[in-house]
């Protein structure tokens, strides 16, 4: 513990052994020993701050380069040409292409409406029986009895077939209600039919139809020779040729797939209670409310009478919208699909049909989405310029203005900017360079980005741009793959080596941290040694002061004795 305060009155009048003398000596030693260490600590602190700033900026640059070296950036697409009738979406990576869509006829769902009834609690049948409910090729058998209401039937349909249809009761007038059955999907296969197998349903739930006799199986051949069947709906007739090998199932397909007959009839082979099958032809569209017939036109009657002896059913159930496939022209070629959302023409491409048209053509263009790439390029330029400015500050040597960067002469720091620039100014084996894509080096060493130059060069070949930027993987004839790195793959690897936990910046930072610890320890030791030295010196000065004081007292006494002796003489 220092006791320089005890020296405030020391001295023999000359002022030699005072606290100010020790303070001056200590200050001088502090300037010689402690101040240089403090200066090194201050420099180290500034260097660490500079490294932290550089690390942050380098990380931002690495992030910018990372987005440019990732292939996903070049998979993004822009769609142009959609209109009120057609819209198109493209998943990432879809082939760049142009096509037209015209003559749109949208797919429709099946909508059945029963005849009118006065209340949903009204009963649907006079006695017990079964009805067949069919949608999307699936038969559902629903048992009914005289106690079942329209509301009960609605619930039952939704219970057994709710994945394919929705049944509801709609008030159609002040006093009238109807059972409405909608297929949930579009397409010809979604046509809904409701057939009374027992004949006990009210007419409100019966459709106009004809039913043949019963056949053992759907594969039963119904003719002994060739002939022609005529399906009639009032004055309209539809003919179908058959042979001795035509089965009941074949006939169902012929009717349903015929463009005209299929729009007016739904043909089905329905299994009855006896386990056999009846051909049921249910009217829809223009065939409703017409006299329905099925006749054999072959001489001699080659078709079985089971087929042509039919039972007609007339009722109030109507098909207010028949299920139909969509049709449209794709590049002039007519295509049909069950849905208005078409995904199977090109993988990743969805064509949405929005409305019917015969006059409008959608000229669709799928192109490279350049904006995200340009945004990433500008981010690269901005991030690089920030790093370059920081590196200049850290390594500059402005002799005229006596400004020297903290890392001037540090080769590991000086080389960073040089390595980055070498990559940015390099050319590929095919002669491509970033300069061609709008990256320019200015006179002051900063970068700039010309988006128009980028657009022009990219338009020549988006694929070449993607390969040059992000690399390319090819598969050889032997099935082996080879990968070529792009310019940003190379730059990312270099920057990652710079910024990773074991990279150049991390090692420099670790060295500075170690140096800071060592300097702090040196200062602590030097300060302790200096304090100890001057504590000892203070104690010595106090002792010397006591000796001098004692001598002064002795001299004063002697002086008095001499004076008295002289006076006495």
List the domain boundaries for the chain: 4-28+511-568, 46-73+371-509, 78-107+327-368, 108-198, 207-324
**Cβ neighbours of residue 430 closer than 8 Å, sequence gap 6 or more:** 464, 468
pLDDT value at residue 13: 39
User: How is the beta sheet containing 138-144 ordered, strand by strand?
Assistant: 138-144, 129-135, 193-196
How many other C-beta atoms are found inside a 10 Å radius of the C-beta of residue 565?
A: 9
Can you give the pLDDT at residue 338?
96
Residue ranges in the chain modelled with pLDDT below 70 = 1-17, 298-300, 399, 569
- DSSP E strands in 299-420: the ranges are 311-313, 318-321, 326-330, 333-337, 341-342, 349-353, 357-368, 397-398, 403-404
Residue found by looking up tokens 């001795």 in the block:
244
- Note the pLDDT of residue 300: 65
Extract the tokens encoding 45. 């602190």
Give pLDDT, residue 299: 65
**pTM of the predicted model, to two decimals?**
0.73
Which of 261, 133, 125 has its CA nearest to residue 193?
133
Place of tokens 């020790």: 22
- The pLDDT value recorded for residue 306 is 94
End-to-end CA distance of the chain: 54
pLDDT on residue 487 = 93
Contact 339, 72 (CB under 8 A): no
Which of 40, 38, 57, 39 is CA-nearest to residue 394? Answer: 57
């Amino acid at each position: 513990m220092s006791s320089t305060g005890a020296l405030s009155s020391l001295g023999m009048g000359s002022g030699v052994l005072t606290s100010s003398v020790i303070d001056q000596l200590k200050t001088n030693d502090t300037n010689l020993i402690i101040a240089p260490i403090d200066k090194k600590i201050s420099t180290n602190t500034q260097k660490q701050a500079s490294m932290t700033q550089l690390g942050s900026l380098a990380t931002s640059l690495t992030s910018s380069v990372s987005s440019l070296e990732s292939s996903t950036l070049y998979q993004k697409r822009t769609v142009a040409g959609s209109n009120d009738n057609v819209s198109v979406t493209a998943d990432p990576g879809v082939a760049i292409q142009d096509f037209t869509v015209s003559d749109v006829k949208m797919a429709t769902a099946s909508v059945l409406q029963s005849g009118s009834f006065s209340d949903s609690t009204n009963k649907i049948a006079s006695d017990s029986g079964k009805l067949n409910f069919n949608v999307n090729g699936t038969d559902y058998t629903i048992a009914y009895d005289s106690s079942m209401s329209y509301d009960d039937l609605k619930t039952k349909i939704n219970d057994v077939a709710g994945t394919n249809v929705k049944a509801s009761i709609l008030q159609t007038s002040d006093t009238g209600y109807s059972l409405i059955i909608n297929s949930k999907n579009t397409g010809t296969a979604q046509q809904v039919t409701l057939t009374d197998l027992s004949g006990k349903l009210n007419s409100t739930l019966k459709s106009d139809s004809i039913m043949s006799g019963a056949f053992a199986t759907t594969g039963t051949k119904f003719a002994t020779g060739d002939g022609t069947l005529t399906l009639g709906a009032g004055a309209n007739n539809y003919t179908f040729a058959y042979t001795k090998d035509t089965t009941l199932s074949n006939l169902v397909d012929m009717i349903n797939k015929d463009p005209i007959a299929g729009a007016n009839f739904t043909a089905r082979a329905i299994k009855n209670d006896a386990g056999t099958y009846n051909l049921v032809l249910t009217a829809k569209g223009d065939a409703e409310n017409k006299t329905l017939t099925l006749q054999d036109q072959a001489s001699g009657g080659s078709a079985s009478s089971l087929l042509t002896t039919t039972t007609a059913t007339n009722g109030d159930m109507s098909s207010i919208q028949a299920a139909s496939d969509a049709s449209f022209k794709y590049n002039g070629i007519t295509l049909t699909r069950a849905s208005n959302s078409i995904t199977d023409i090109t993988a990743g491409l969805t064509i949405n049909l929005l409305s019917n048209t015969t006059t409008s053509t959608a000229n669709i263009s799928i192109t490279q989405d350049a904006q995200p790439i340009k945004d990433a390029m500008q981010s690269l330029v901005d991030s690089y310029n920030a790093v370059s400015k920081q590196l200049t500050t850290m390594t500059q040597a402005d002799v005229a203005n006596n400004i020297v960067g903290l890392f001037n002469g540090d080769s590991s720091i000086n080389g960073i900017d040089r390595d980055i620039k070498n990559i940015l100014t390099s050319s590929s084996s095919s002669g491509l360079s970033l300069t061609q894509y709008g990256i320019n080096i200015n006179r002051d060493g900063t970068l700039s980005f010309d988006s128009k130059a980028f657009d022009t060069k990219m338009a020549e070949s988006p694929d070449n741009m993607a390969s040059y930027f992000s690399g390319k993987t090819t598969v050889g004839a032997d099935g082996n793959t080879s990968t070529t790195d792009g310019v940003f793959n190379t730059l990312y690897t270099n920057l990652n080596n710079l910024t990773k936990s074991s990279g150049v910046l991390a090692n420099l930072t670790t060295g500075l941290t170690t140096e800071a610890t060592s300097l702090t320890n040196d200062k602590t030791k030097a300060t302790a040694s200096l304090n100890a030295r001057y504590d000892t010196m203070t104690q010595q000065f106090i002792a010397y002061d006591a000796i001098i004081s004692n001598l002064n007292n002795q001299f004063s006494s002697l002086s008095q004795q001499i004076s008295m002796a002289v006076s006495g003489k």
